[in-house]
Structure 1
Amino acid sequence: MKFKIACLALVTSLFVLNLNAQVRHTKKHSSSGSAMARGKIVYNSICLSCHMAGGAGVPHLNPPLINTTYVLGDKAKLIKIVLNGFNEDVEINGQTYSNTMTPHSDLKDQQIADVLTYVRKSFGNKASSVSAVEVKKVRASK
């Protein structure tokens, strides 16, 4: 199990090294299209490596984004997780997840709003959108 976790950590680290170029590309192209389309671009560039294409996460490491209170609940709390990262063990549906999520405060307010809107409306989730104004308000309250 430890070997699998170490291998996954290595793969994730290598993937993160490639993210800077992808984030720059995403920042250049995030001004057009719908929030869902823009959010999917951000998700695929930044979130997919840990939370997987279908939002199911990785057992015991990265939590799922499907039908959880973290995703469907308090928007401000979810925005804070994206801005500040997350470094706590969390139990979801009887499983504990313990991988650290890095902060993504380098993303623009609109990018965070778009990706959270995408997550809250994808993978079978049916929650309200997140606006750039909401992200800006949470970012300012730090």
Structure 2
Amino acid sequence: MGLALVSGKSIYEKYCLTCHQADGGGVPNMNPPLIKTSYVLGNKIRLIKVVLNGFLENVDIDGESYSNVMPSHDFLKDQEIAAVLTYVRKNFTNKAGPVTAAQVKAVRATNKKKA
């Protein structure tokens, strides 16, 4: 496991595991799974926005509804968000490409302009 994935795993265990579980399976109807979902494997910008902004209302993911509020994690540094999202996109049987700190920085900048 590369250094970025080790860092990503550590961040996942600290901030994400409680809701999304050790296996990434989530909690039915509360916290979405991170295993092969369109949010995890799809558009990186949307995934970055989820971490930066959280969810304040119910969300439907791949035909299932989840009701638990996800707080914003915009306090994490760009590199930390990139590391944890890369970890999630490459684990739990997922096989998606990495997220870079530059991608997170660009989304964060766009978010600030809209605020």
TM superposition score normalised by structure 1: 0.74
Gaps of 5+ in 2: none
1:81 correspondence with 2:63: no
Q: CA RMSD in A?
A: 1.1
- Give percent identity, aligned residues only: 60
Q: Quick one: distance in 2 between partners of 1:39 and 1:105?
A: 15
How far is the alpha carbon of 1:94 from its aligned partner? 4.1
Q: Quick one: distance in 2 between partners of 1:116 and 1:79?
A: 8
- Tell whether the 8 Å contact from 2:30 to 2:67 is kept in structure 1 after alignment: yes
Q: Quick one: distance in 2 between partners of 1:73 and 1:88?
A: 21
- Tell whether the 8 Å contact from 2:39 to 2:61 is kept in structure 1 after alignment: no
Q: Which has the higher helix share?
A: 1
**Could you tell me which residue of structure 1 aligns to residue 96 of structure 2?**
127
Using the TM superposition, name which of 80-89 and 65-74 deviates more.
Answer: 80-89
Aligned-partner residue type, residue 38 of structure 1? S
Q: Quick one: distance in 2 between partners of 1:95 and 1:78?
A: 17
Partner SS for 1:91: strand
Q: Quick one: distance in 1 between partners of 2:106 and 2:61?
A: 28
Q: Quick one: distance in 2 between partners of 1:101 and 1:91?
A: 13
Q: Quick one: distance in 1 between partners of 2:77 and 2:59?
A: 27
**Could you tell me which residue of structure 2 aligns to residue 99 of structure 1?**
68
1:52 correspondence with 2:21: yes
**Could you tell me which residue of structure 2 aligns to residue 111 of structure 1?**
80
Alignment length (residue pairs): 110
1:39 correspondence with 2:8: yes
Q: Which has the larger radius of gyration?
A: 1
Query: CA offsets, 1:27-85, max 9 Å, x none?
Result: xxxxxx61110000000000000000000001110000000000000001100110011
Displaced runs of 4+ in structure 1, greater than 3 A? none
How far is the alpha carbon of 1:91 from its aligned partner? 2.8
